[in-house]
Amino acid sequence: MTPDEFRRLGRQAVDFIADYWEHVENMPVLCPMAPGAVAAGLPERPPEQGQSWEGVFQDLTQIVLPGLTHWQSPNFFAYFPANGSFPAVIADLISTGLGVQGMLWATSPACTEMETRMLDWLVEMLGLPAEFRSDQSGGGVIHSTASEAVLTALVAARHRLRSREAGARGDAPRECVYASTQAHSSVVKAAMIAGLADGPDDRSRIRLIPTDHRHAMRPDLLERAMRADAAAGLAPLMVVATIGTTGSTAIDPVDRIASVCAPHGAWLHVDAAFAGSALLCPENRWMARGVEAADSFCFNPHKWMLTSFDCSCFWVRDRGALTSALSITPEYLRNAASQSGRVIDYRDWQIPLGRRFRALKLWMVIRHYGVDGLRAHIREHLRIAALFERLILDDDRFEICAPRTVSLVCFRLHPRAGESPEQTDARNRRLMDAANASGDLYLTHTSLPTVHDDQTAGPPRLVLRMAIGATLTREEHVRAAFSRLSNLAE
């Protein structure tokens, strides 16, 4: 392809994306196709000869678009959003076009130095501890996902613990990881990958701490578990506190968790994958009280900060703990800049070697919107989430199932007199399935424990999650979603 052909087709691709964003609102949000339907439209064998781009664009419209679930639709309320924006799309296009691979400072200084600067900007933007800045003991790095960040934190924590304990014990102690029952499954997955769990149900070295009536981790039970493990000769390795759990955006009390963690010398990782973006607004920073004591912190701009997937920001208080766990230098990567000790080589801050120029995305998004624009984006979603919550509260067929901390509303149809819990769950599932089949909106569910005010636990119940945060979502979409749900409610 010549540069002139690229110019022409590139413009066509940009038009394709702009048209998609203009019309995505009218497409059925959840893909209605059956498994195999997309594959059926694709030839079984690759073409021997190059093909025309006319056909490629035609297939994009006829085969690919109908096979999508539209994450950028303003009517997407499922999981957590994967926020995109035109500034981020432009940045990704340019990043791919430049085609640099920033594994070492020397392989593209701009890739590294811009990343360092962006992550320092974000420390200030989110009100994170100054120690996370690169000109202090710490620093930040862009990973693909929060799952990668928690695994990296675990590996760094293990290295720190083992270096401290070297020679102190004959046998390697059995290390334990702690998180709440509401923590994301990536914590257990990280333990599985790191060899601390044989499978998702292996709890021999993972303690999932029960939550209170707000679905937040109970520090008293964390303390009990850590003490019991320490007394039994086990080594408390890492605690994961969540700011905005996946199920209900519950806020674990990071300050109290940090106090429990400290005497054991365990690594404290704070996972704020979704809700972290809310810290842009000073009025939300109560959620992160205690983060000053964290060893690491992660949030995903790709969830709620207008930065297209993938972009997960991960900071550590002590970059040495990270790099000493992950650094390995074969001869072919040696270079004068690295050896001078004056540069960051981000390959030592992550699992893979290679890395894309993702900082461009943060740079262009922050420059385009400004911090004020990003705050306005968050505040508007919080406003319309409160509005949706009000609509639910005002309709006596529904109930709210968890305190709303950010823009996720957990709700369900009230149990009816004489109805079993299973029947209530089934009625709620039917409502969700019917809403999703309508194509007008897409929302997902979870199961939340019932915890009474006196902390006694009841059975889990099915809860519907209305996650507001897609870039294009406005008040009218939230009102329309409520009307649809209200009309479909049995």
Min dist CB 295 to ligand PLP, Å, is 17
Burial of 342 (0-12, 13-18, 19+ CB in 10 A): exposed
Q: Which is nearer to ligand PLP, 28 or 290 (CB)?
A: 290
Residue 239, strand partner residues: 178, 268
DSSP 467: E
Q: Within a 10 A sphere around the Cβ of 230, how many other Cβ atoms?
A: 16
- For ligand PLP, give the closer residue by CB, 73 or 145: 145
- What is residue 415's DSSP assignment? P
Give the nearest distance from C-beta 71 to ligand PLP in angstroms.
Answer: 13
Q: How far apart are CA 82 and CA 305, in angstroms?
A: 9
Helix (H, G, I), strand (E, B) or coil at 442: strand
Residue placing its CB nearer to ligand PLP in the complex, 189 or 227: 189
Which candidate, 406, 450, 411, 453, places its Cα nearest to that of 432? 411
Task: Supply the minimum distance, in Å, between the C-beta of residue 184 and ligand PLP.
Answer: 3
Name residue 144's beta-bridge partners: none
Name the H helices within 208-249.
219-231
Is the CB of 77 or the CB of 80 nearer to ligand PLP? 80
- Distinct helix (H) and strand (E) counts, the chain: 15, 11
Of the pair 108, 246, the CB lying nearest ligand PLP is at: 246
- In whole angstroms, the minimum distance from the beta carbon of 449 to ligand PLP comes to 17
Q: Which is nearer to ligand PLP, 112 or 145 (CB)?
A: 145
Minimum CB separation of residue 254 from ligand PLP in Å reads 13
Angle at 84 between CA 83 and CA 89, to 5 degrees: 160
Let me know: does 225 contact 214? Beta carbons within 8 Å: no
List Cβ neighbours of 394 (8 Å cut-off, separation of 6 or more): none
Residue with tokens 């998609």: 20
Q: Would you say 392 and 400 are in contact if contact means Cβ atoms under 8 Å apart?
A: yes
Nearest one of 248, 253, 265 to 221, comparing CA atoms: 253
- For residue 311, the surrounding DSSP H or E stretch is none
Non-local CB neighbours of 149 within 8 Å, separated by 6+ positions? 143, 269, 271, 296, 298, 312, 314
Minimum gap (Å) between residue 23 Cβ and ligand PLP:
27
* Residues contacting residue 75 through CB under 8 Å, at least 6 positions apart: 25, 29, 440, 441, 442, 470, 473, 477, 480, 481
Min dist CB 249 to ligand PLP, Å, is: 8
Residue whose CB is less far from ligand PLP, 148 or 212 = 148
Looking at residue 457, what DSSP letter applies? Answer: B
Q: How far is the CB of 216 from ligand PLP (least distance, A)?
A: 13
In terms of CB distance, is 143 or 377 closer to ligand PLP? 143
Cβ at position 80, least distance to ligand PLP in Å: 5
Min dist CB 6 to ligand PLP, Å, is: 32
User: Is the CB of residue 215 less than 8 Å from the CB of residue 237?
Assistant: no
Query: Rule CB under 6 A: which residues touch ligand PLP?
Result: 80, 145-147, 184, 186, 242, 244-246, 271, 273-274, 300, 312
Of 490, 253, 185, 395, nearest in space to 411 by CA: 395
As measured in angstroms, the least distance from the Cβ of 155 to ligand PLP is 16
Closer residue to ligand PLP (CB): 108 or 242: 242
Residues in CB range of 50: below 8 A, 6 or more apart? none
Strand partners, 408: 467
Cβ closest to ligand PLP, residue 146 vs residue 391: 146
Peptide bond into 59 cis (omega under 30): no
Least distance to ligand PLP from the beta carbon of 351, Å? Answer: 13
Taking the least distance from each CB to ligand PLP, the nearer of 138 and 244 is 244
Nearer to ligand PLP, 185 or 204 (CB): 185
User: What's at 344, amino acid-wise?
Assistant: I
Cβ(209)–Cβ(222) below 8 Å: yes
